[in-house]
């Protein structure tokens, strides 16, 4: 991040961007003058005095900021936390911030009702310190929706009561709160905003780049702005440069071209978002609902739920927040460190309805003052030029998009213990019985996770099975029945596309969240949290491919198989370049695509076995789970065996897959010269499996010796 005024390149060759910047600033100055009287009042909303630099910033003639900008930022951080809340089969995350003593605000789509907030908690202090380390301890408070809960779907906000004390007996009142200012005009088009957030539940991050407000129509309930946010940033406060809250962050908009295709970070354009992650696309703008609109809708909702809490909210909107108290202390000459614990004197709402709030004058006083409108002028490195396009100004309020991906678990049928699992006799014919398959050795059984009911080690799903390595928390191997006969786009009148099978509503952008399997111990699985908090290191790679097992005689059977593949037992940490065909060259995804094509055009049915190769020297990765930090070893190689039956005999092909594996392009299932580096003798593959898995039943059908001489000769 560079300060633009020190960028020599911009002075060497003045281009279109420079002209655009100059025009924008000039327009901002012209617009700011008539509205200055109203906007100037915000500067002293907390009792502070405007500096000359702050006045210039408001008028758009200076992009520098006062050093106190960072001090204000640090103050408000203590009122912003990470929300953790349960979902049917896992945990999700969002951001929340205190708006009154013991009351936290977030989005309605995070907590649509009181029930959804039960079991949730608010964690403070989850951020990296100056040494780059996470805290060994952070303060976590339970939410208490039974004490107070209100929400509004139209403005996408919810407010929930927080328990008076944390698990470590800290007082929520000691943290203070952030003031909601009811008057509008705190941010206008051309201004810049900052967002403090916990994206994807990660440690606290701050968007302090070119976060320009690109739409601020007074008729709209929302603002549009450019900023770096991600899933989990829902519920984050959006600040102006005075660190007054101007909006509640809600969602985002993906960049499109004239054909309404979506922009991907790799420079391509796609018509559908199906199967994409948030990090795969370019976010054009974000949206947040105006605090001034929320302040109008909130009082009657609060009054109807709890007059005592309504009074608390009303008084908090008048002042007494962390910024106002800091300004008051600075004016009185009190050292900030000496009063670090002052907020501990704030009383919570008691059973008698008492509050202890200062009677600070509202912002709409008659004084003529100039508000603080500070701006950081920086450059964004590596941002595609296309991402600088603007959002059309004719977007209607009703057309406000909510494209930020929501995490949901695909539809998973109950009755997991009754699933049939992998069927060994799937390829029977010509008198054949059970197909040869890998088996667990005694050493393999010792490292395989047992089912909690004592029935063995095989996790049976619809059309496939999984055996888990309990210490590495990943699958030892999977076995799947693949059938491409008579695949249809519609079955029983219902679409079999990915979103429909998942049970996701059309038109909503939802990312699949994976579920734990309750049939084995949680400590033998890597939860979905590990992948959502891995700093973008890995994809959630299916070991048994979703498409391979999505077949059946009715929609229910197909949907059941689809949902079963989204258990974390079928997941493996793979880099995007290795897992996704379009993201890399000749990779795991390319092989899976070829196997589909080959079996469809040749034998139509196949059995696949797959798993990681667990190396004793695999590198370690420091990740996160719901229970805290976790270090795991990440496999660098994966194996796959394709078993088909042709002309009355089994044929087995084994591969050890690396990121540089060559693409298979032939229609019929045989190995071309590009596969010499990946084709592996099954006996050699068995030697890599550390004595845990035996391939002896498959080795007699190995086609390695038939395929390789033909290629070399």
Mean pLDDT of 176-203: 89
Percent of the chain residues topping a pLDDT of 70:
69
Q: What is the pLDDT of residue 280?
A: 76
Q: What is the pLDDT of residue 115?
A: 93
Judge contact between 623 and 535, C-beta under 8 A. Answer: no
Lowest model confidence (mean pLDDT) among 5-14, 471-480, 700-709: 5-14
DSSP H or E segment with residue 77: helix 68-77
Q: DSSP assignment, residue 692?
A: S
Mean pLDDT of 512-518: 92
Model confidence band, residue 623 (pLDDT cutoffs 50, 70, 90):
confident
Q: In DSSP terms, which residues pair with 611 in a beta bridge?
A: 639
DSSP 310-353: HHHHHHHTTS-SHHHHHHHHHHHT--GGGGTTGGGGPPPPPTT-
Which has the higher per-residue pLDDT, 147 or 600? 147
- Nearest Cα residue to 475 out of 419, 531, 517, 418: 517
Rounded-to-integer distance, Cα 272 and Cα 288, Å? 25
> What are the CA-CA distances from residue 323 to residues 68, 74, 117, 242, 601 (Å)?
12, 10, 29, 10, 68
pLDDT at position 178 over 70: yes
pLDDT at position 227 over 70: no
Rounded-to-integer distance, Cα 409 and Cα 504, Å? 9
Q: What is the pLDDT of residue 575?
A: 60
Q: DSSP assignment, residue 182?
A: -
Lowest model confidence (mean pLDDT) among 91-100, 141-150, 455-464, 632-641: 632-641
Mean pLDDT of 381-398: 39
User: pLDDT tens, 278-320?
Assistant: 667 787 778 899 999 999 999 999 999 999 999 999 999 999 9
- Collapse the DSSP code of 654 into the 3-class scheme (helix H, G, I; strand E, B; otherwise coil) and give the result: strand
Exposed (0-12), middle (13-18) or buried (19+): which is 672, by Cβ within 10 Å?
A: middle
Most confident range, picked from 428-437, 600-609, 638-647: 638-647
**Residue linked to tokens 């100056």:** 130
Tokens of 504: 């996701």
Give the chain's mean pLDDT.
76
Rounded-to-integer distance, Cα 671 and Cα 678, Å? 10
Q: What is the pLDDT of residue 560?
A: 96
Tokens of 408: 């949901």
Lowest model confidence (mean pLDDT) among 56-70, 97-111, 590-604, 636-650: 590-604
Residues 6+ apart with CB under 8 A from 689: 613, 614, 639, 695
Q: What is the pLDDT of residue 581?
A: 45
User: pLDDT tens, 557-599?
Assistant: 999 999 999 999 999 887 665 555 444 444 455 655 656 665 5
Judge contact between 569 and 459, C-beta under 8 A. Answer: yes
Judge contact between 393 and 215, C-beta under 8 A. Answer: yes
Q: What is the pLDDT of residue 658?
A: 63
Q: What is the pLDDT of residue 10?
A: 24
Q: What is the pLDDT of residue 663?
A: 31
- Collapse the DSSP code of 42 into the 3-class scheme (helix H, G, I; strand E, B; otherwise coil) and give the result: helix
Judge contact between 276 and 580, C-beta under 8 A. Answer: no
Model confidence band, residue 347 (pLDDT cutoffs 50, 70, 90):
very low
Mean pLDDT of 391-411: 56
pLDDT at position 66 over 70: yes
* pTM beyond 0.85: no
pLDDT at position 450 over 60: yes
- Nearest Cα residue to 542 out of 579, 495, 516: 579
Q: What is the pLDDT of residue 77?
A: 96
Other CB atoms within a 10 A radius of the CB of residue 413 amount to 16
Q: What is the pLDDT of residue 620?
A: 80
b/e sequence 673-711, b meaning 16+ C-beta within 10 Å: ebbeebbbebeebbeebbebbbbeebbebbbbeebeeee
CA 66 from centroid of its chain's CA atoms = 34
Percent of the chain residues topping a pLDDT of 90:
39
Q: What is the pLDDT of residue 26?
A: 45
Q: What is the pLDDT of residue 346?
A: 38
- Nearest Cα residue to 423 out of 460, 454, 477, 468: 460
Backbone angles phi, psi at 265, to 5 degrees: -70, -20
Model confidence band, residue 267 (pLDDT cutoffs 50, 70, 90):
confident
For the chain, which domains are there?
Answer: 78-338 (2.40.10.120), 408-712 (3.40.570.10)
Q: What is the pLDDT of residue 535?
A: 61
Model confidence band, residue 487 (pLDDT cutoffs 50, 70, 90):
confident
User: pLDDT tens, 683-697?
Assistant: 999 999 999 999 999
Mean pLDDT of 370-374: 35
Mean pLDDT of 521-545: 82
Model confidence band, residue 403 (pLDDT cutoffs 50, 70, 90):
low
Q: DSSP assignment, residue 411?
A: P
Mean pLDDT of 414-429: 90
> What are the CA-CA distances from residue 282 to residues 225, 403, 485, 560 (Å)?
14, 11, 38, 33
Backbone angles phi, psi at 276, to 5 degrees: -90, 150
Exposed (0-12), middle (13-18) or buried (19+): which is 307, by Cβ within 10 Å?
A: exposed
- Collapse the DSSP code of 415 into the 3-class scheme (helix H, G, I; strand E, B; otherwise coil) and give the result: coil
Q: What is the pLDDT of residue 129?
A: 87
């Amino acid at each position: 991040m560079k300060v633009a005024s020190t960028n020599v390149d911009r002075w060497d060759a003045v281009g279109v961007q420079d002209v655009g910047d100059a025009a924008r600033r000039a327009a901002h100055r012209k617009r700011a003058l008539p509205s200055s009287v109203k906007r100037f009042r915000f500067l002293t909303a907390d009792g502070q005095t405007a500096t000359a630099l702050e006045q210039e910033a408001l008028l758009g003639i200076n992009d520098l900021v006062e050093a106190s900008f960072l001090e204000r930022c640090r103050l408000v951080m203590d009122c912003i936390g990470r929300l953790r809340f349960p979902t049917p089969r896992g945990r999700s995350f969002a951001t929340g911030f205190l708006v009154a003593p013991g009351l936290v605000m977030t989005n309605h789509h995070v907590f649509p009702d009181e029930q959804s907030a039960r079991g949730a908690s608010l964690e403070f202090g989850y951020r990296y310190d100056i040494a780059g380390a996470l805290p060994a301890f952070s303060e976590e408070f339970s939410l208490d929706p039974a004490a107070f809960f209100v929400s509004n779907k139209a403005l996408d906000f919810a407010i929930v009561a927080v328990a008076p004390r944390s698990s470590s007996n800290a007082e929520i009142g000691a943290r203070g709160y952030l003031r909601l200012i009811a008057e509008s005009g705190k941010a206008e088009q051309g201004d810049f905003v900052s967002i403090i957030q916990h994206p994807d539940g990660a440690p606290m991050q701050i968007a302090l780049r070119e976060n320009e407000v690109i739409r601020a129509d007074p008729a709209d309930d929302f603002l549009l702005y450019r900023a770096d946010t991600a899933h989990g940033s829902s519920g984050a406060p959006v600040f102006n440069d005075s660190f007054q809250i101007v909006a509640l962050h809600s969602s985002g908009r993906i960049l499109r071209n004239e054909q309404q295709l979506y922009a991907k970070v790799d420079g391509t354009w796609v018509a559908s978002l199906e199967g994409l992650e948030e990090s795969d696309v370019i976010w054009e703008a974000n949206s947040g609902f105006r605090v001034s609109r929320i302040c109008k809708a909130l009082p009657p909702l609060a009054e109807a739920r709890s007059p005592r809490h309504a009074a608390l909210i009303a008084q908090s909107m008048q002042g007494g927040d962390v910024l106002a108290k800091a300004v008051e202390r600075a004016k009185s000459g009190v050292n900030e460190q000496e009063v670090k614990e002052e907020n501990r004197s704030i009383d919570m709402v008691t059973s008698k309805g008492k509050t202890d709030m200062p009677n600070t004058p509202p912002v709409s006083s008659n004084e003529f003052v100039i508000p603080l409108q500070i701006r950081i002028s920086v450059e964004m490195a590596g941002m595609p030029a296309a991402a600088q396009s603007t959002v059309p100004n004719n977007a209607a309020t009703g057309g406000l998009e909510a494209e930020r991906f929501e995490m949901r678990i695909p539809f998973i049928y109950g009755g997991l213990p009754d699933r049939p699992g992998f069927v060994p006799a799937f390829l029977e014919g010509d008198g054949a019985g059970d197909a040869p398959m890998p088996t667990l050795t005694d050493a393999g059984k010792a490292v395989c996770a047992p089912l909690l009911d004592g029935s063995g080690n095989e996790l049976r799903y619809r059309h496939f099975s999984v055996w888990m390595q309990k210490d590495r928390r990943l699958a030892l191997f999977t076995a799947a029945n693949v059938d491409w006969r008579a695949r249809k786009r519609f079955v029983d009148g219902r679409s079999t596309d990915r979103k429909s099978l998942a049970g996701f509503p059309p038109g909503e952008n939802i990312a699949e969240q994976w579920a734990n399997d309750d049939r084995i111990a949680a400590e033998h699985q890597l939860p979905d949290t590990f992948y959502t908090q891995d700093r973008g290191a890995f994809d959630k790679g299916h070991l048994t491919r979703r498409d391979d097992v999505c077949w059946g005689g009715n929609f229910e059977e197909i949907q059941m198989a689809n949902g079963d593949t989204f258990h974390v037992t079928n997941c493996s940490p793979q880099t995007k370049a290795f897992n996704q065909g379009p993201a890399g060259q000749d990779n795991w995804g390319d092989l899976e695509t070829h196997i589909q094509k080959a079996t469809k055009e040749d034998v139509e049915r196949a059995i696949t076995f797959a798993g990681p190769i667990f190396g004793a020297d695999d590198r370690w990765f420091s990740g996160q789970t719901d229970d805290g930090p976790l270090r795991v070893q990440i496999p660098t190689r994966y194996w796959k065996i394709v078993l088909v039956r042709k002309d009355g005999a089994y044929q087995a092909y084994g591969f050890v897959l690396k990121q540089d594996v060559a693409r298979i392009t032939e229609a019929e299932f045989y190995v071309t010269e590009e596969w010499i580096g990946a084709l592996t003798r099954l006996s050699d593959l068995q030697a890599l499996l550390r004595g845990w898995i035996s391939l002896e039943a498959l080795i007699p059908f190995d086609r390695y010796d038939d395929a390789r001489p033909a290629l070399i000769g």
